Structure 1
């Protein structure tokens, strides 16, 4: 169960979300809004089963929101929250498919019991719908396949004699093509490869059948079928204008989200008579290419995109080619995102966009391999990433493998920079404090880093351990001091950080090959 919380007071909204999160429900909060207007905007692209909304909110209150939901025929249940014990509010809310009316402050147990009840009803409704779809599918499977095959072949016919001969055949199988003109509507399921994997073969067929039923009902059972690319094609009869068709497209999209939890993009052709349905089919399916340059699912008309006349794709391809020469991952990320934004605003013609899709495919593959090489020994699943580039719905989604690699490079670069800076900071600290009682623990506390991690990181960068470097600095300073004949060995030991003169002498000989006195004698003679 997908829940939307609409509340203008942030603390109350967050508290409500956390309260729902603690409940053992088969669902979660998928959308939040601060007023009715924000909620309506989100409902245009987010599937929701239940709205929990406050009454008193700025711009659009809770009851106005529910009135809009009812006007749009959205099958969404609701719960009203209010600090006002007003019976008139309750009566009005109950007429708007509101399941209940709760007073603030909301009690955990009250809300839990209500949500559990709604969840049980929701699960029962879904189970019933699935069973009905299965039963209907079994009963009508053969007839449906016959109709689909007929429409698939009929829409490709162009010769008048063939069409006239097959119209009579159409009525015998329940396909009625008597209108003077048709708009072709192409409904494309988003994230299809992932959905097919998740559903499995049988589940995917059932889902497609359910979508077919939804579209049939919303179009008053106008002829529809799946083409070879599993795009649902609808022959919409009549003279409906673009505004009416846009409303229909939105209803198809919303019902798909509400009942099937899928998103769809929709392409709509211009109007054609029976003899030119193949032209309409081409228009509707080609329009879906504009999903490549949209961040959200689209409802697009061929009559609109046919006005785009920009054929210049070379500047966009040149901008992509420049990425091969960039030295910094962050710069490449920025330029890649700028390329996409410029492409969205370019208003490319349909033909140019189709050509560009093929060219971008090749360049994206080359860029991916180029950037992966920059990661050195890092293992990277190119097969999975190339699969995303081949099938994702938009250029932005196809860019994700590139962005992921670039972010990994950037992260590694920043990590290396931090490690270099930390190593230099450790060395500086040792040179300034070598004469004090310092060790790995005290140095790590100064750097604010775990001692074990600091030790490994420093040795990786410096080629020696911190203690080895500390000893090296101390011995170097001791050699300088030994040239001063007035200083005793124990004094020099203390001056370079050793309280035990004997230990200092032993360490010095191990480091230099001679004792402190021998070193002094040898070097003073020189």
Structure 2
């Protein structure tokens, strides 16, 4: 079971992820997000079985997120986490097919039992689909593979000199090739990496067989087979109008998603005589390249893109080269998004897209590694294996960009956080220098800064390398040293002047700091 955790508080988010990983259940957190908007973007390219989300978040809250998920991703389950014991929220969440509603701080055992139940439900559902088709069985398994092997060879033939004998051979093994003209439809499964992780090899073979049967039936038992790359190829004979064919393709997408929770893109060739059917197959496969410049699954007929001309790939890629010279992560994010939007507007030929894809397999990982250095070796991005895999194998340039955009967002957040921490540290230093003569404490300082004292303490030490108390003591001890050298005040008077009510405590602190008591220090430095 693949889990997405959505929680805007970083410590809680990481704590939840760590807790789930300790459970040793058949599940893993494959993605996380600080808000609903980013979570939705990740769902466009990462396969998820379960969302665990907070309710109160910036941009899109948990209920808004689940509302959109309920419309777009019917198969995804969800759990709501909230610090608000509010029945209204629980009722809204349940309407959105939420599996359960847990209050923060949640109990380990409750979350464990819930995740265990959901993971078992998912395993059971997948097993039911596979079992249903296993029970039906392939009555003539050999014939099934013989037909596929015949059609694979048939579709690659550039010239078919003896049409009649080939049609007769096909008929002997149950393939009807009676029509003179065909559209070729090529169906591509989205997110193949996730599919391979979710299914054992035998189960995936059965699932493919199930999809094949459904599509074959929808297409009136037209010739239908898998090619060497697991594209499902259909030779459409009954449909003569492109609009009608595209409508059927749309129905295929919906049916495959409803029955098998799989997403597909579809390429459609022009109509071809049976003797030149291989050209139609090439057209339909080529047109699927245009999935690379789309934000989601597509249906594309070859006639829509056949007139597109080859563009200057160098001109299209030059803006990416310029990104290596920029220092501001937010500007790089903006430029990268603008580059992608401008690329979508280009009427690119298949050759141009193919060349761009090859170049981006070098440029995108280089950009990722270049900016990863900004976060250092201790960041979650120190190891880039999964991000590189997304860049290499995702279904579109949009999803391949996402690891880079996420990296840039992390850098931007890190930079802003650093600036905020610097400003806060400066405020603390200023306040201590102005008020060290008073009886100030960590609590009084945090109240003045309007910040949680525990967080302020950790943040200040991370930024300065010293605790607030250590710095306050330094300020007081330096002032004590000055007063001992430049005045005749008694030790107890100096103690009071720098914020200590207890003279003995001050003397001990001074000796610890300067290795001399106040009296010894004054005597040694007396002029």
Interval of TM-score (by shorter of Structure 1 and Structure 2): 0.7 to 0.9
More off after superposition, 237-246 vs 279-288? 237-246
Distance in 1, matches of 2:143 and 2:457, equals 74
Q: Deviations over 1:209-261 (max 9, x none)?
A: 11111111111000011000100000111452111011111110111111111
- State the partner residue of 1:458: 460
Alignment partner, residue 495 of structure 1: 497
Instruction: From the superposition, tell whether residues 206 and 517 of structure 1 become closer, same or farther in structure 2 (CA, over 3 Å).
Output: same
Could you tell me whether the CA contact under 8 Å between 2:310 and 2:351 is conserved in 1? Answer: no
Contact kept, 8 Å, 1:46 with 1:257, in 2: the verdict is no
Secondary structure of 2:281 counterpart: helix
Post-superposition CA distance 1:364-383 (Å, at most 9, x none): 12122222233221353423
C-alpha distance 482-162 of structure 1, shift in aligned 2 (>3 A): same
Partner of 1:408: 410
In 1, Cα distance between the equivalents of 2:221 and 2:310? Answer: 39
Give the drift of 1:128: 8.3
Change (3 A) 1:124 1:516: closer
Match of 1:298 in 2: 298
**Does the 8 Å contact 1:137/1:209 carry over to 2?**
no
SS at match of 1:233: strand
Match of 2:274 in 1: 274
Instruction: State how far apart, in whole Å, the 1-side matches of 2:64 and 2:322 are.
Output: 43
Q: Map of 1:292-441 to 2, 5 A cutoff?
A: 292-309=292-309, 311-378=311-378, 380-441=382-443
**Is the Cα–Cα contact under 8 Å of residues 293 and 397 in structure 2 kept in the other structure?**
yes
Aligned residues: 423
**Which residue of the other structure, out of 480, 483, 488, is the alignment partner of 1:481?**
483
Distance (Å, rounded) in 1 between the aligned partners of 2:65 and 2:276 = 44
| Residues 395-440 of structure 1, C-alpha deviations (whole Å, 9 max, x = no match) | 1111122223223333332332232222222211110110011123
Structure 2 CA distance for aligned equivalents of residues 128 and 450 of structure 1 = 51
Q: Assess, with a 3 A threshold, how the Cα gap between structure 1 residues 384 and 207 changes in structure 2: closer, same or farther.
A: same
Question: Could you say what secondary structure the match of 1:214 adopts?
Answer: helix
CA contact (8 A) 2:159 2:276 kept: no
What residue number does 1:191 align with? 191
1:171 CA displacement = 1.0
Q: RMSD over aligned Cα, in angstroms? A: 3.3
- Alignment partner, residue 90 of structure 1: none
Alignment of 1:158-237 (within 5 A): 158-237=158-237
Q: Which residue of 2 aligns with 1:86?
A: none
Cα displacement string for residues 317-369 of structure 1 (whole angstroms, at most 9, x for unaligned residues): 11111221221222222222222111111221121111111111111121222
Matches within 5 A, 1:48-87: none
Q: What SS class does the counterpart of residue 138 from structure 1 fall into?
A: coil
8 Å CA contact 1:310–1:346 kept in 2: the answer is: no
CA contact (8 A) 1:154 1:163 kept: no
Unaligned runs of 5+ in 2: 1-62, 77-90, 99-122
Closer, same or farther in 2 for the Cα pair 1:444/1:206, shift >3 Å? same
8 Å CA contact 2:130–2:207 kept in 1: the answer is no
Partner SS state of residue 235, structure 2: strand
Looking at structure 2, the residues matched to 369 and 245 of structure 1 have their Cα atoms a distance apart, in angstroms, of: 44
How many angstroms does 1:460 deviate by? 3.4
- Please give the per-residue CA displacement for 1:90-117, whole angstroms capped at 9, x wherever unaligned: xxxxxxxxxxxxxxx99x99x99xxxxx
TM-superposed deviation, 1:162: 4.7
Which structure has the larger Rg? Answer: 1
Q: Secondary structure at the match of 2:429?
A: helix
In structure 2, the partner of 1:258 is 258
Deviations 1:185-232 (A, max 9, x none): 001111112112202112211111111111111110000110001000
**Is 1:133–2:156 an aligned residue pair?**
no
Listed as ranges, the gaps of 5+ residues in structure 1 are: 1-27, 34-38, 50-104, 113-122
1:491 Cα deviation from its structure 2 partner = 2.6
- Distance in 1 (CA, whole Å) between partners of 2:166 and 2:306 is 32
Q: CA deviation at 1:29?
A: 12
1:222·1:236 contact (CA, 8 Å) conserved in 2?
yes
- Whether the aligned pair in 1 keeps the contact of 2:293 and 2:396 (CA below 8 Å) is yes
Matches of 2:125 and 2:368 in 1, distance apart?
Answer: 46
Q: 1:510 to 1:135 in 2, by over 3 A?
A: closer
> Is the 1:157–1:163 contact (alpha carbons within 8 Å) kept by the matching residues of 2?
no
Contact 1:180 1:238 in 2 (8 A): no
* C-alpha separation in 2, matches of 1:29 and 1:205: 37
Moved more, 171-180 or 294-303: 171-180
Matches of 1:255 and 1:29 in 2, distance apart?
Answer: 26
Cα distance between partner residues in 1 of 2:518 and 2:413: 48
Q: Equivalent residue for 2:153? A: 153
Range moving further from structure 2, 251-260 or 458-467: 458-467
Looking at structure 2, the residues matched to 221 and 31 of structure 1 have their Cα atoms a distance apart, in angstroms, of 39
Match of 1:325, SS? Answer: coil
* TM-score when normalising by structure 1: 0.73
Distance in 2 of aligned mates of 1:228 and 1:47: 31
